[in-house]
Amino acid sequence: MSGTRDWVLPDADATTRLGAAIAPLLAPGETVLLYGPLGMGKSTLARGLVRAMTTPDEDVPSPTFTLVQFYDSSPPVAHFDLYRLTRPEEAAEIGLDEALDEGCAVIEWPERLGDDPAVWLGPDRLTVTLAEQGAGRLATVSGAGTWEAKLKDLHV
């Protein structure tokens, strides 16, 4: 991966805005990988992204138990939560391949795909790692493939 940018996110609204800023840059076949411990704001960021691609009042539940939610947008977006997967191959069973064939995906807990998520995903990925920073969060964002160049266009 080339190029990394950091943003301090003082509250949930700032995390939502980061997701919304990513949305217009997403193209079919691309993924946004969300890393961070429980409670860091991965679902909040994903919700901001999905609502920016659909409608501001779109119901965007965390797919913790359903594993995936699909949304009609242009391009279509799928929100995956892989926390409950026990082996990487289960990602194919819940439609990850198809989601990337037709649209883009935001993926919580991508580490469940194994040591090298590129095996399961295309080359064009944005990685967001959320960590505690005081009362807020620090978002460390890096790009691979097309996202190496797009990262400079990301403004929060």
For 75-113, the pLDDT digits (tens) are 999 999 999 999 999 998 999 989 999 899 999 999 999
Query: What are the structural domains, with CATH classification, of the chain?
Result: 2-150 (3.40.50.300)
pLDDT averaged over the chain?
A: 94
Residue 13 to residues 85, 148, 149: CA-CA distances in angstroms?
29, 26, 26
Q: What percent of the chain has pLDDT above 90? A: 83
CB count, 10 Å around CB of 108?
22
64, pLDDT greater than 90: no
Q: What CA–CA distance (Å, rounded) separates 96 from 101?
A: 9
Q: Which two tokens stand for residue 142?
A: 């890096």
Q: What is the pTM of this model?
A: 0.94
The model's confidence at residue 120, banded by pLDDT at 50, 70 and 90, is confident
84 with 101: CB under 8 angstroms?
A: no
